[in-house]
Structure 1
Amino acid sequence: MTVSQPVTIGVLALQGDVREHLAMLEAVGARAVTVRRPAELDAVEALVIPGGESTAMWKLATAFELFEPVRKRISDGMPAYGSCAGMIMLADRVLDAAPGQETFGGIAMTVRRNAFGRQVDSFEGPIEFDGLEGEEGAAGAAGTLHGVFIRAPWVEQVDPAVRVTARVTAGPGAGRIVAVRQGALMATSFHPELTGDLRVHGRFAQIARAAR
């Protein structure tokens, strides 16, 4: 494989907003494919874990014999990006988890499920996101983007290895952590795939290419 070939990024297609992520990844120049089986996981260089419902995702990944393979690929260094429920699935620790709920893990953080409230408490607003621009390995420039929060989690605590890349700037959740990065892993509690803003997916594609 040469670096000139598009990076192949899978979207975990068990539950959630899969089509939207596929479209955004294609728009930033990646080869986007669905992942439902271990063989499909083996064929990708990176993985997006979409929004949806984290307990359903955990149960379906187990039923499709994908849970442990995904966990191992992430542990072995595969780049991954999770939005909303995907953030929960990448967390090492989860508050208010369903009984017995497990995650893929990988990011040394504590996430609270449904932290912003129920569906009726969903909201939108501006977010200052650090690291959307600049060369790989550089701090990057902060950029304002539009955040869509739907029954969203927030991050309660991060270990020193985790870089906080965005917080809520106003409203009841002001100051709460809503985006993080640890190595080749990214997570947001909001849904950039619903806004048409390509910068978050573009940043993840850049991370995936750099990991080759």
Structure 2
Amino acid sequence: MATAVLALQGAFVEHEGRLAELGEKSLELRSAEDLARPFDRLVLPGGESTVQGRLLRREGMLEPLARLVADGMPVLATCAGLILLAARIEDGVEDGRDRSGVRPARHLGTLDVTVVRNAYGRQLGSFHTRGAVAGVGDDVPMTFIRAPYVAEVGPGAEELARVDGRVVAVRQGAQLAVAFHPELDRDLRIHEALLAL
């Protein structure tokens, strides 16, 4: 079949490029009508999670996608995609102000984690590193752009990677979520892990 890439906003074209390098067909999800097309995997790209959540609701895609993921469809969620999947969301440090309190689930809510949004601050707080990701390999490139991190991993999920003591990759069943942008690096192992789910 094909891998569907949420194409409402964010770095979806880069994911399509990585999938094409692996010989995988992709299709773009832009409206509820696109959900009728055949696909067996899903990518939720980085971007602005608040904007993506609003557009998912407006286009009538939020509940159908949540059902597909909850029913076991393999999904790769990167950066904002991690926030879309998270069951619990906290606001992080934004514009130098500390925002506190856990907000209620407002997106798909299928991944048993608490994420902190914008945890690394503004765009200037972006950085690149390398590290091990369980089940993927060692020396995996990780590009963080206004990235979230996982503050709490619930019993349904498992931690796959940490950077500077913070959880940045998790898995729950067929849901693979990372706080970084593998689509911006040449390493294909994260996308290969999606295709192996």
- TM > 0.5 fold call: yes
Aligned equivalents of 1:166, 1:90: Cα separation in 2: 17
Aligned equivalents of 1:113, 1:156: Cα separation in 2: 10
2:171 to 157, 181, 196: 181
2:8 to 10, 14, 19: 14
Instruction: Give the corresponding residue for 2:119.
Output: 115
Asked if residue 149 in structure 1 is aligned to residue 144 in structure 2, the reply is yes
Larger mean Cα displacement after TM superposition, 31-40 or 188-197: 31-40
Instruction: Give the corresponding residue for 1:191.
Output: 181
Q: CA deviation at 1:100?
A: 7.5
Contact 2:148 2:179 survives alignment (8 Å): yes
1:121-151, Cα deviation, whole Å (9 max, x unpaired): 111111211101xxxxxxxxx3211110000
User: Where in structure 2 are there 5+ consecutive unaligned residues?
Assistant: 93-101
User: Where in structure 1 are there 5+ consecutive unaligned residues?
Assistant: 1-6, 133-141, 169-173, 208-212
Instruction: Give the corresponding residue for 1:167.
Output: 162
Q: CA deviation at 1:99?
A: 7.6
Aligned equivalents of 1:39, 1:196: Cα separation in 2: 32
1:39 to 33, 36, 43: 33
Contact 1:55 1:101 survives alignment (8 Å): no
1:11-55, Cα deviation, whole Å (9 max, x unpaired): 000000011000111212221111112232232111100000000
One-letter identity of the residue aligned with 2:183: E
1:87-141, Cα deviation, whole Å (9 max, x unpaired): 0001011001898771112110000000111111111111211101xxxxxxxxx
Distance change in 2, residues 1:16/1:36 (3 Å): same
One-letter identity of the residue aligned with 1:110: T
Show structure 1 runs of 4+ deviating over 4 A: 97-101
1:143-162, Cα deviation, whole Å (9 max, x unpaired): 21111000000000011221
Higher strand fraction (1 or 2) = 2
TM-score norm. by structure 1 comes to 0.84
Contact 2:90 2:103 survives alignment (8 Å): no
Asked if residue 130 in structure 1 is aligned to residue 134 in structure 2, the reply is yes
Instruction: Give the corresponding residue for 1:66.
Output: 61
Instruction: Give the corresponding residue for 1:53.
Output: 48
Q: How many residue pairs were aligned?
A: 187
- Which SS does the other structure have where 2:106 is aligned? coil
Instruction: Give the corresponding residue for 1:92.
Output: 87
Contact 2:3 2:41 survives alignment (8 Å): yes
One-letter identity of the residue aligned with 1:78: M
- Structure 1 vs Structure 2 CA RMSD: 1.7
TM-score norm. by structure 2 comes to 0.90
Identity of aligned residues (%): 41
Instruction: Give the corresponding residue for 1:103.
Output: 107
